[in-house]
Amino acid sequence: MAVDTELPAGCEILLLEDDAILRRRLAAHLRGQGAELTEAGSIAEARRLLAELRFDFALIDLQLPDGESLELLRTGAFSENTGVVVMTAFGGVKKAVEAMRLGAGDYLTKPFEPEELPLAFLRCRDKRGGARRDELRASEHSTGSGDELFFGESLGEVRAQLELILTTERRLEHGLPPLLIEGETGTGKSLLARWVHRQGPRRARPFITLNCAALPENLAESELFGHERGAFTDAKTARIGLFEAADHGTLFLDEIGALAPVIQAKVLTAIEDRTIRRLGATKEIRIDVRLIAATNRALLDLVEEKGFREDLYHRLHLLHVVLPPLRERGRDIPALARHLLERIARRHRLKGASISTAGEARLSAQRWPGNARELAHELEREIIFNHQTHLDFARLGEPTASVPGGWRDLKWRLPAEGFSLEAVITDLVDEALRETNHNLSAAARRLGVTREFLRYRLNGGKPRE
């Protein structure tokens, strides 16, 4: 992957240097790079500017007429969003190391060429984003290589669709379009997002994930876009957001439909303009983030209910994948169960765990409304409570081909006196709606009909007003 060697356009830099000739030379070069520059010749002047203004970067000399600029680092004069590069004379490496310990992102030993500055600033940016990513990793449940998405026979169409997408994307480095993944809870949307990231051109860059449904609405803007110190009551320090932390990588927004419309508008701007603005800031920051979004409800339904912005929906829907529920992947269930059991047994340090033929049949006969997540919980429950390694899932009962009684029974035959076809259709529609949590699009796909047909049925067989 190519490395940027230019400063972000319009970035604001504080230059602290008492040597007027050197300061003019550095200032001319940085302005030529498109930076907005503010100059200072003393610590006192720099402290005043830092109290009044916000800077993306600071380039500071260590020795100034009124003391050492390390004092600015010690007293927290710099915002956490400001990347600091220290300039030191030959032999001053010890002081530069101390500056790094106090929070500086990089240092340059004089004399140096001005062309070295952009890389130094960009190393600061990466260090800042790395700290935020480390914070996210510490709070996120770790997933090992065993979490690779399992592709069974029934997901062949999805796999082919993804391979086509990835083949195109591998030729690209910048401007990857967003990807939308739809599917019920527990179908593996987050695993699929991680798999796509690992297969794509940004696999060596960060993968940042956020569950939008678990994020309080009043924190969403700050979490996604960051904030400056003092932007709101509890903002005692500055903080970068997840879009910045994922720069040049992937940001996965799970349950994106839970975001408030005002935040959806800002996400749309980030996608289309590739810029964000931190809360409390006055300037925009350029980003290069590949967005993957997921939802357990059809976004088109949310659009029609005025719960999701139509313009954002169309932007996300450019690349679209639907993961089918586990009950539609019957022939994959035994292999998927063995795949999950291997991971669970390893976690419990249990050797030789296996599933009997009868156990596989019982698992395949279940509806699994919780999908793969529910299947994994059932496997773990069987291991923990039955204290055995050869699992047969006897508590699930014998598999049955159909529900006894009525037209669903395999022994049922058309009665001579006739029966109500309307009642059967209504029964099927009701079941599809129950199993999809009244998601019209998903229910229509399950029944093989159009959304308009379902609306017609729900409206009592009358055309929709």
DSSP code per residue over 123-164: HHHHHHHHHHHHHHHHHSPP--GGGSPP--GGGHHHHHHHHH
The whole-angstrom separation of Cα 368 and Cα 370 is 5
Q: Are 264 and 291 in contact (CB under 8 A)?
A: no
- CB burial of 238-274 (b: ≥16 within 10 Å; e: otherwise) equals bbbbbbbbbbbbbbbbbbbbbbeeebbebbbbbbeeb
Residue 144 is assigned to a structural domain of this protein: no
Q: Which residues pair with 275 in a beta bridge?
A: 286
The whole-angstrom separation of Cα 406 and Cα 421 is 13
Query: Chain-wide mean pLDDT for the chain?
Result: 81
Specify whether 309 is located in the same domain as 176: yes
Q: Are 185 and 278 in contact (CB under 8 A)?
A: no
The per-residue pLDDT for 40 is 93
Q: What share of the chain in percent tops pLDDT 90? A: 21
Categorize the per-residue pLDDT at 145 as very low, low, confident or very high, splitting at 50, 70 and 90.
very low
Domain containing residue 382: CATH number: 1.10.8.60
Specify whether 193 is located in the same domain as 320: yes
Does residue 61 or residue 9 have the better pLDDT? Answer: 61
Q: Are 465 and 456 in contact (CB under 8 A)?
A: no
Specify whether 315 is located in the same domain as 340: no
For the four alpha carbons of 420, 425, 431 and 434, in that order, the dihedral sign comes to negative
Does residue 56 or residue 308 have the better pLDDT? Answer: 308
Last residue of a domain, one of 112, 129, 146: 129
pLDDT by residue (tens digit) across 31-40?
Answer: 888 888 899 9
Last residue of a domain, one of 290, 324, 358: 324
Chain centre distance of CA 319: 16
Residue 186 is assigned to a structural domain of this protein: yes
Specify whether 230 is located in the same domain as 247: yes
Specify whether 368 is located in the same domain as 248: no
Burial tier of 403 (Cβ tally within 10 Å: 0-12, 13-18, 19+): exposed
The per-residue pLDDT for 59 is 94
Specify whether 296 is located in the same domain as 443: no
Specify whether 161 is located in the same domain as 232: yes
Domain containing residue 46: CATH number: 3.40.50.2300
Which of the listed ranges 76-80, 116-120, 248-252 does the model predict with the highest average pLDDT?
248-252
Specify whether 273 is located in the same domain as 308: yes
Specify whether 21 is located in the same domain as 57: yes
Task: Flag whether pLDDT at 127 surpasses 50.
Answer: yes
DSSP one-letter string for 241-258: -HHHHTTTSEEEEETGGG
Last residue of a domain, one of 324, 342, 367: 324
User: Lowest mean pLDDT: which of 160-169, 273-282, 393-402?
Assistant: 393-402
Amino acid letter for position 232: F
* Tokens describing residue 279: 């809360």
Residue 412 is assigned to a structural domain of this protein: no
Residue 265 is assigned to a structural domain of this protein: yes
The per-residue pLDDT for 409 is 54
Specify whether 229 is located in the same domain as 163: yes
User: Lowest mean pLDDT: which of 157-161, 166-170, 184-188, 207-211?
Assistant: 166-170
Specify whether 307 is located in the same domain as 232: yes
- CB burial of 125-157 (b: ≥16 within 10 Å; e: otherwise) equals bbebbeebbeebeeeeeeeeeeeebbbbeebee
* Tokens describing residue 25: 């030379």
| Three-state secondary structure call for residue 325 | coil
The per-residue pLDDT for 424 is 77
DSSP one-letter string for 61-130: ESEETTEETHHHHHTT-S-TT-EEEEEE-TT-HHHHHHHHHTT--EEEESS--GGGHHHHHHHHHHHHHH
Residue 112 is assigned to a structural domain of this protein: yes
Domain containing residue 450: CATH number: 1.10.10
Task: Flag whether pLDDT at 180 surpasses 90.
Answer: yes
Q: Are 284 and 194 in contact (CB under 8 A)?
A: no
What is the distance in angstroms between the CA of the first residue and the CA of the last residue of the chain?
A: 55
Specify whether 33 is located in the same domain as 89: yes
The whole domain housing 22 covers 12-129
Work out how many domains the chain is built from and give that number: 4
Residue 271 is assigned to a structural domain of this protein: yes
Amino acid letter for position 74: R
* Tokens describing residue 460: 């009592």
pLDDT by residue (tens digit) across 316-343?
Answer: 998 898 888 888 887 888 888 888 888 8
Categorize the per-residue pLDDT at 150 as very low, low, confident or very high, splitting at 50, 70 and 90.
low
The whole-angstrom separation of Cα 295 and Cα 33 is 41
The whole-angstrom separation of Cα 110 and Cα 21 is 14
The residue among 421, 375, 389 whose CA lies nearest residue 188 is 375
Q: Are 72 and 78 in contact (CB under 8 A)?
A: yes
Length of the chain: 465
* Tokens describing residue 353: 């765990």
For the four alpha carbons of 380, 181, 150 and 170, in that order, the dihedral sign comes to negative
Residue 293 is assigned to a structural domain of this protein: yes
Residue 413 is assigned to a structural domain of this protein: no
| pLDDT, average across residues 341-353 | 83
